Amino acid sequence: MFKKVLVANRGEIALRIIRACREMGIATVAIYSECDANALHVKFADEAVCVGPPSALKSYLNIPNVLSAADITGADAVHPGYGFLAENQQFARLTADHGMTFIGPSPETLATFGDKLTAKAAARKADLPLIPGSTGEVPDLETAIKVANEVGYPIMLKAAAGGGGKGMRVVEDDEGLKAVFAITAAESQAAFASSALFIERFLKAPRHIEVQVAGDGRGGARHFGERDCSLQRRNQKLVEEAPALGLTDEVRAGLRKAALGIVASTSYRTVGTVEFLVEGDEFFFLEVNPRIQVEHPVTEEVTGVDLVQLQIRLAAGEEFDFDQSEVSIKGHAIEVRINAEHPRTFAPSPGRITGFHLPGGPGVRIDCAVHDHAIVQPYYDSLIGKLIVYANSREEAIARMRRALAESVVEGVETSIPLHRELISAPFFANLSFHTRFLEKWISERYG
């Protein structure tokens, strides 16, 4: 097992990793930018190294500085968390070149799943169902129009190297495709250093269901059930829950089998998520997220498995010490993301927190790295914490989340808490009558 892990991240996920390491008897090193010197992940790590000024490009994304911090502190492994360098194959390769273990997939696996076209090719090879569309890149507008007409409008135009809900557009007809093709390619080049685009059939009302998985790198695979992440705005998740209810037994079994299949066939090593779109009794492969995810706590709550510790053990070369039959799913968990942003306009709201109280009581978990008088920095993602509740049933979990949100106080900055209070209390949420495009329309009709 590792003796010292450098945590190449910040905020709540850095603190989550530090906690997991401490329980395992592993020393930790935090990195921080100049503006994060007083952050909680810095305070709770065993050591801390400043890696640059506030700009993420000059600090948390500065590979030479991050690896230098690992070298000088004698770390024998690096955990990237999510975001920043978590899916950077160059960083994974250089970490290994420096004699340290990257707690995540191999560089080759990151290359496969970091590009949506190669990920689809891997899924096709593993016999996963794919959304009808182009079999590869559409290199020019003429090809794109031909493929779009074969697939049938409306279609989704996507950046091959895209992620996080970016680099995608719904197109209704040839004229619309002509208007956005070059723009989307240029935006993709600017954001992802690749202008490659592809086309998929547009699903009008799908649910976003993901299967939590883990692989040992030797073909061994385990799943930990499904999560429903359908409540999204601009393809960004706001609410997640486990298990995903409302699926037929056949669809649920198919999702799990498909997820295990792609993990085993790609010699995947680490935890991760295989994501699908489900519409009616059909499901289609969407992508693989080869890392720990923001919403992992809901799976931990219903399975009792510490996914971060499992990730560390797999990176250390350990084998699974449990069979698939030993993974049981009990109760129901819901997570809401507390973002520092206006609850209606979603504009970022950085600043100093002047009043702070988060809830407690039975079945309430807080993954958060801010506190009273902490400064929410303008340089990074607006996520400041996650509120997770667990109960015996979905109905009880909803009631518990309503109670927990009523107790939640964050003053000095705008947050998404008021929006979550409305969402959790809405009839559509209780009735499971929503899909990935539902929330955009609901917000537009409610607030204009």
Residues with catalytic function? 291
* 224 in Cβ contact with 299 (< 8 Å): yes
Count of helices and strands (H, E) across the chain: 15, 20
103 backbone φψ class: left, alpha, beta (φ>0; ψ -120 to 50): beta
Indicate the SS3 state at residue 302. helix
- Please give the helix or strand (H or E) that residue 78 lies within, else none: strand 77-79
Indicate the SS3 state at residue 108. helix
13 backbone φψ class: left, alpha, beta (φ>0; ψ -120 to 50): alpha
* Residue 201 to residues 32, 74, 149, 171, 244, Cα–Cα distance (Å): 43, 50, 10, 10, 24
Distance between CA atoms of 388 and 82, rounded to whole angstroms? 18
- Please give the helix or strand (H or E) that residue 143 lies within, else none: helix 141-151
Distance between CA atoms of 424 and 422, rounded to whole angstroms? 6
Eight-class DSSP state of 202? P
Considering Cα of 109, then 199, then 231, then 372, what sign does the dihedral take?
A: positive
For residue 401, count CB atoms less than 10 angstroms from its CB and return exposed for 0-12, middle for 13-18, buried for 19 or more: buried
Indicate the SS3 state at residue 201. strand
* 6 in Cβ contact with 17 (< 8 Å): no
* 389 in Cβ contact with 363 (< 8 Å): yes
Task: Phi first, then psi: give them for residue 27, nearest 5 degrees.
Answer: -70, 155
| Residue 403 token pair | 């109670």
- What lies within 8 Å, CB to CB, of 227 at 6+ separation is 209, 210, 211, 212, 240, 241, 242, 243, 244, 273, 295, 298, 299
- What lies within 8 Å, CB to CB, of 142 at 6+ separation is none
Distance between CA atoms of 322 and 257, rounded to whole angstroms? 18
